Amino acid sequence: MKPFPRVYLELTDRCNLACPFCAGSNGTREIPVERLEPVLRQIAEITSEVRPHVLGEPLIYPHLARFLELCAKLSLTVKITTNGLAVDSVRGLLFESSALRELNFSLHSYDRSTHGTPEEYLSPILSLCDEFDRQNIPLHVNFRFWNIGTESSGGADKLFRLLLDHYKCDGFDASMPEEGRESVKLVNR
């Protein structure tokens, strides 16, 4: 058994948004491609799971393909947290990666996005998730909302209702999850 359940790795501190709850969106740093393998080898000695998210947006990291390739080679599972805006640009990489086990979409960032309507924002994310499902690829997907039901929720409530509609979740209150609940399961797989 390895000593740590997971390691968080900041591939880049750059982000394609500027959310007020996040300390880093104007970053300029990223792990150079030549440093990836030595860093990941060290990580593989102490854990079997890597989460490439601290401050930056991992899907805009220019060496994401190499990162995923090395993680697979070193038997590291990958759990990515993303705002989802770049899924179309890396769609193929995500499908091809044998290391990817989880995608977490931070949908609470939508209020700070200038990327269209809630429907336009969710469309590529849901298309990706539906394709993973159609291909029966074992991937855990989380849609995260930190601000639903609050005054600052903006479009988050609308996004949640769109998810309920997409996954045909009749009977759920659109303001879910209720106080004291941390999650709502939308699909059984």
pLDDT tens by residue, 65-95: 999 999 999 999 999 999 999 999 999 999 9
The pLDDT tens digits for 7-22 are: 999 999 898 887 766 7
The amino acid at 32: P
Share of the chain above pLDDT 90, in %: 55
Q: Sheet with 49-51: list strands edge to edge.
A: 7-8, 49-51, 77-82, 100-106, 140-144
Task: Mention every residue, 6+ apart, whose C-beta is less than 8 A from residue 183.
Answer: 142, 177
Q: What is the rounded average pLDDT for all residues in the chain?
A: 85
* pLDDT band, residue 1 (cuts 50/70/90): confident
Residues 50 and 78 sit within 8 Å (Cβ to Cβ): yes
pLDDT above 70 (res 182): no
Q: How many CB atoms lie within 10 A of CB 53?
A: 19
pLDDT for 154: 61
Tell me the whole-structure pTM to 2 decimals. 0.88
Task: Mention every residue, 6+ apart, whose C-beta is less than 8 A from residue 115.
Answer: 85, 121
Residues 80 and 64 sit within 8 Å (Cβ to Cβ): no
Residues 76 and 44 sit within 8 Å (Cβ to Cβ): yes
Helix (H, G, I), strand (E, B) or coil at 47: coil
